[in-house]
Structure formats: C-alpha cells, structure tokens
Structure 1
Amino acid sequence: MLKKQSIADDPIKMEEETIIIAALSTLSSSKLSDLTHSILSLTNSHLRRLSAVLSSPSLFFLTLHHLHSLSLPDKILLISRHLLSSLHQFTSHFEPTPPPPPPPPSYFVRHSDIDAVLLLLLLCEVHQLNPEALQGISSGKWRAVLSQLYTDTMLTLTGGGGGGYSTVNVLMQYIEMVIRCRRFVGVMARENGGKEWMEVAASPAAVVALPSVEVIRGGGGVECVICKEEMREGRDVCELPCEHSFHWICILPWFRKRNTCPCCRFRLPTDDVFGEIQRLWELLVKASSSGGLDGE
C-alpha cells in the first residue's frame, strides 16, 4: 500500500484548506447550494459503494486483490483520476463563461476502480490514525477494523446518528478528501522520480472549441506574439478565453506542446490527468485570491 503520509494540521494543509474555503466564499447563494447538493449526492454514492465493499466478504477480497495487483504508479494514477473527477465537479461552479468543453471519458473512474480507490483511501486513513490497527492480524480480519472506522465516519456525517447528513460535516469531509488526494499524488509522484506537474499539451477538444474571430478595422497593427507579424484586418485569428488573439497557424503548433496562453499563462483544459489537476487547482487559487471569476 501507500507509504504513511501524515496530513495532520500543518501550515501547508491549512493553506490548502484556506484556499478552498476562500474560493467557496466567492460563490453566490444559488451556486453554493448547487455545489453542496452535488457534493452531498457524490458523498452519498461513495458511502454506499464503500458500505457494499465492507459488508460483502467476496467484494471486499476482490477489491483488496485488485489493489494488491496494482503497482505504486498505478495507485498514484488511480488516486489522481479520483481527485480529478472530484475537482471537475467542484470547480465547474468557478469556471469562467463560457465554460470549457467537458472532460474526456478517460478522466472518469470505473465502478471497480471507485471501489478500489475508496478502500485504498480508507486503508491510508486507518494507517494514519492508528498505524498498528491492521498489523499482526490476517487480511480476513481487516474488514472488521475498517467497518468500525466506516461506522464512526457515518456517525460524524449524520451528526451523531440523526436524521440526515450534516451539510457542514459532509462539505469538510469532501475538502479533506480533496486535500488528502492532492498531497498523496504530489508526494508519491516526487518520491518516484517524477515531477508533480509538468508542461502538457492542450486538449484537442478545447482547441477546436476556440472561436475564430475576424480582425476588424482598428484592430490591425496588433502583432501575433508568436511570429511577431501583424494580424491584418479581415484575417481570421484564434481568440482565447483570456481575450488574447493569435494566428491560427501559429497557435496550433504551440498548443500541441503546452496548454498555456503565450501572453498571460491562462490554461486551457488538457487531456493529461496531472496537468488538468494543476489547471483546476490554479482555478481555485485564482478564485480565492480575486474574489471570484465570474463577477458574482
């Protein structure tokens, strides 16, 4: 399994939590309500899946066997896709208008992998809270230990066994999961000789969706920063969401290597899992520091 990774309250974790909460504070009441509802639905779905895994001996051992069969890089990718799927749902409420195209299906996690990543995260949590909890016992008895922690988690989310989930508790649990996954991905990637983030190509779907605009009278004389030549009146050029324009023939090779605007580093969506995690996290950072992206 993954190496022990402490995510106890520390300056880095507190900063990440502050970024997310500050970004949430910029949402309008309607957007915050929609976001909370979507997180409640997702949390409910995940809890049902984890409950099914823990209550079924056969499903538990199949899922555990699946985890054991994965290499460490595969575990990192599994958590990364889970994080990316969660971040897409979370940051969709912060995306500028118009929003980018939807992510490709490859970003999302299959049901069997959802079971695996939920069990993996639970195992990591048990190891963090009590490193000796699963030591000295057979894997056949792991289910009982994990089920007890799951029950304690459910009691917290429902406010001590009341008639429904506590919205605040569910939201904080979700934020904790996002932070935990992000730190696992970054630390594990670096420990295995890789970079946490890297320069990546823009998603072809995002590039194709970019508008083509005509240079109008008065717009001539502006140069394309890539080729340093004038964008002449009457010629169609590519306009990015950040409102910077370039010759199509110049920007297409650029986006085959990187997903950033040559002028301001605005990021387009990418098909790379780690690059997209970076883009969405930067979206939250920008929202938290600028008071929102959509003027609300």
Structure 2
Amino acid sequence: MKDNLANLGQLLADDKESLAKRFRALFTLRNIICPESIDAIGKVLINDESDLLKHECAYCMGQMKDPYAIPYLVDTIKDEKQHPMVRHESGEALGAIGRHTDEILSLLQKYSKHHVRELSETCDLALDRLKWYNESNGDKNPESSSPYNAVDPTPSYPDSMPLKELESIFLDENKSLFERYRALFTLRNIGTPEAVAVICEGFFGSPSDSALFKHEVAFVLGQMQSLDSVEALTRKLADLEENEIVRHECAEALGSIGKSEIIRKYLDDKSRIVKESCQVALDMADYVNDESQFDFLSNKAD
C-alpha cells in the first residue's frame, strides 16, 4: 500500500505528466483516506502551477472529511497569491470537513468579508453550513441522503417541496446563497426533466448574479449527466464574457456527459483554467464513451 501511495503521489506531483493522468491519480488518492495520501494532495495544493489541479485538490480534501487536511486548507485560504478559485474551494472544503473550532470559525468570518467575491461568498456558505449542522439539523437531513455520494456545500430541502416553490427560491437573487444552494441540491435530487430545466435557468439571471452560484449550477448538471442540460452548458462555455470558474465547470460537466465534439472547440481557449478543464473533460468524455480503455478513474468532483 505504501509503495502504491508513493507512486500515486509522484504521478500527481509530476508536472511533465498529462493533467488527465494527474487527475486520475488524485481521484484515486481521494479514496485512500490516510495522512500519506493527504500529504501528497496537500503538497500539490500548496506548490503546483496549475490552478485547476490545485482547486481539485482542495475539493478532494473536503470530500475526504479528514481534519488532518485542515492546515493545508487554512494556509491556502490565507495565501493572497493563490487563485480565487483555489482559495474558494479551500473554504468550501473546511465547511465540508465540519470542524467547529474557534480558529476555523474566526478564519471563515474574516474571509467572509474579503474583497474577492467568490472567496467571501464561499466562506459565508461554509459558516452557514457549520451553523446548520451544529444546530443538530444534520440528524434530520443527513449528508448520506445525497444520491451522488458527495458532501454538498449545503443541505437540501425535503424532496416533497413543490417544484414551483423550489424554482422561486433558486432563481431569487435576493435570497441568500445558502437558500439558493439548498433549492439547487433539492432540484438535483428530484432529477426530473422539469427540474433540470429549472436548474439550467440558473445560468441566465442578471449580469450581477453570483459567479459562484452559476459555477455550482454547472457542477450539479455534471453530476446529473442529463442530455437535457447540454444546450445550456454549451451556451455558457461559449460565453467569453462569463467568469472562467463558470466556464471551466461547464466544460467538465460536458465531459461527464461525453460531449467530446463540443469540448474540443475550446482546447486553445485564452483562459488557462478553461483550456486545462477541456483537457481533463476530454479524458472524462473518453471514459464515459468507452470505460474499457481505463484501468482506474474515479468520478469527477467540484
């Protein structure tokens, strides 16, 4: 096992390898929860040149839910040189791990007032999530209820909630992101074509709507892998005025649906994050279209 972990860690850290192979190594390490795997991921989170890969490292640490990862995530949030996407994902990971220490709460409160909107909104969400579960609501709506085996940034509402009510909350830009996210994950859990159509509407609100919110819309559509979302995802990927964190997530969602022909058009995108996302998305699409050619590949995550 130790030799296997070491080999995976070396592959993950090797910037001469393709991003696709490095992502596969990361997803494998994510499923081996121990200090050695977290150290391998943390090294890349702190030091790598690829913001896309570092963002995925932070996400995986949150999904692992091991407090051993907390120092890496804290250092990343504090580092003003890190890309906002990487710092936002580190804040979300702290919320997912769920430790309510004074240090964590103080850190999240500090950065909830940060001038970078994606970071401040993420820290607000993490604080709301910690508060919600700390009030024992987690017993009423456990994380294990997610049909996608993922730790979501917020809990969902009951699936029995009327679709129109969920739509109203989801599209209301005056509601808190915590409420809108809850509606989003409930719509995802419902999973009907009507629910997918409502989720797609989340891309096309006012110009001032949250990029973080739209990026989560794309991520959820990638989880659902619905062909009904392809048109909306393609429109957003093509929107060069859109925030790159939204476009990158659209590319990866299209990869999870297997739409190679759409993704290839953006392999030379001016945004490095979008370009690298398309490289990874093509690998995902190849897997979706022919699983037999892969010896290992875990599910893609936010």
The TM-score normalised by the length of structure 1 is: 0.25
Larger radius of gyration: 1
More helix by share: 2
The TM-score normalised by the length of structure 2 is: 0.25
